[in-house]
Amino acid sequence: MDEKTRKIYNTAGISDAVLDYCSDIEQAQAERFRRIDEMSEYGQIKVVEAMRKNHVQEGHFAGTTGYGYNDDGRDAIERVYADVFHTEDALVRPHITCGTHALTVALSGNLRPGDELLSPVGEPYDTLQGVIGIRPERGSLAEYGVTYRQVDLLPDGSFDYPAIKAAINDRTKLVTIQRSRGYLTRKTFSVEQIGELIAFIKGIRPDLICMVDNCYGEFVEPIEPTDVGADMCVGSLIKNPGGGLAPSGGYIVGTRECVANAAYRLTAPGLGKELGSSMGLNRTLLQGLFLAPTVTASALKTAIFAAGIYEKLGYKVTPDSKEDRYDIIQAIIFESDKALIEFCKGIQKASPVDSFVTPEPWPMPGYDCDVIMAAGAFISGSSIELSADGPLRPPYTAYFQGGLTWPHGKYGIMMSLQNLVDAGIVHLS
Ligand SMILES: *Cc1c(COP(=O)(O)O)cnc(C)c1O
């Protein structure tokens, strides 16, 4: 590191001891980072080619209002997404509020009363439990007569094929597969693993709709679940594919039939994709998608860098610094409330927005203990931006993700370490 860079880090609050400690880790990860860059190169070309093919042009950036009939930019975005994911069609809308909403639209659009939904990968993401009705909730699928069946993973984290086969019956209509671990302890599935599961399911009943909750997984691998047989892939634009620019939105890509069913649910039966004004957001969604491969690469590097640092300090990290990654989430198990809090405060301190506020644990709705959250994001709640949170209960795990640029992610992680050093929790020899 040259003197000028060292100096600005010092001015920004990072000591030489922390810089040197982290610098060694970064050097040891050089080959890993090179492979991530290579993958982002692949993703970048994939996205640009989809934009070239669909003649993305300045006229597409003009917004529509009201009904949004003939919004060429909106239609172009959807064709680009369909090409990036190699699907027949796509629904990409700023009106989709969040990932949970996108999944709700995909599920409720494709399921009918009397159908059964199957999760062959254990319990779904917390918010989905209310949507399905595992946890009773107003307007859940259960209230509309859609039943749910779940097959848990085997103790070693693999698929329980015999139990999955036994769970599939005449009423099974849709299989939901969550790619990312979310906040569970299981591992995230690779696209290849998801492909094996889908092949098994299609081998039993080729007509079953296989849907993948792709949240946090986009662009982490060169291929997506739709490349290995998924009929439908769903995610949030304030995570990876929005590239940090999309201010809101979600996507559903898949077969023409699945996307049409979802569109009839998002707007109205008979209206579908024809309506929905883009309100001036087309350019931002396209530019965000353009940036998404490199932004996701930055988030991945940040996660691996943090894993390397905290692992060397003796903390349990998952995934560890060596294993392959299939999403951008990193967990660090601190076994100490103080350490968890200082880590989050460090992330906050390094944020471009709200750096001056101090995160405090608070009794967040839906949790049985206090939760601390650190985020200083340009887009509220965006988890492709560097952000961390942790429930204040043993084993005091910090979950963090994001980093729009690698230099910022690196700075945030170094600040978290600096905070732990300054608090006397970590001693760098
Ligand atoms: C983020 C996420 C969701 C949806 O969450 P929202 O907060 O509603 O955007 C669903 N599943 C997984 C695995 C996620 O990571």
pLDDT in tens, 335-357: 999 999 999 999 999 999 999 99
Q: How far is the CA of 239 from the centre of ligand 1 (A)?
A: 9
Check whether 424 has a pLDDT greater than 90.
yes
Q: How is residue 127 written in tokens?
A: 């918010």
What is the mean predicted confidence (pLDDT) over 135-149?
A: 97
Collapsing DSSP to helix, strand or coil, 40 comes out as helix
Residue 291: name the closest of 232, 218, 221, 223 by CA.
218
Atom of ligand 1 nearest to the CA of 99: 9
Q: Cβ(341) to ligand 1 under 6 A? A: no
Q: Cβ(327) to ligand 1 under 6 A? A: no
Identify residue 65 by its one-letter amino acid code.
Answer: T
Q: Give the number of other CB atoms < 10 A from CB of residue 338.
A: 13
How far CA 283 is from CA of 73, 236, 287, in Å, comes to: 8, 17, 6
Residue 405: name the closest of 419, 388, 389, 384 by CA.
384
Q: Whose CA is nearest to atom 2 of ligand 1?
A: 215
Cβ–Cβ under 8 Å, residues 317 and 310: yes
Compute the distance between CA of residue 304 and CA of residue 327 in angstroms, rounded to an integer: 11
Number of alpha carbons in the 13 Å side-chain half-sphere of residue 43: 27
Q: Cβ(215) to ligand 1 under 6 A? A: yes
Q: Whose CA is nearest to atom 3 of ligand 1?
A: 99
Compute the distance between CA of residue 173 and CA of residue 333 in angstroms, rounded to an integer: 39
Q: What is the CA radius of gyration of the chain?
A: 22
> Considering the entire predicted model, what is its pTM?
0.97
Torsion of CA 25, 28, 30, 33, to 10 degrees: -60
Read off the DSSP letter of residue 278.
-
Q: Whose CA is nearest to atom 6 of ligand 1?
A: 99
Check whether 182 has a pLDDT greater than 90.
no
Atom of ligand 1 nearest to the CA of 128: 10
* pLDDT value, residue 364: 81
Atom of ligand 1 nearest to the CA of 179: 13
What is the mean predicted confidence (pLDDT) over 21-34?
A: 97
Q: Cβ(180) to ligand 1 under 6 A? A: yes
Q: Cβ(236) to ligand 1 under 6 A? A: yes
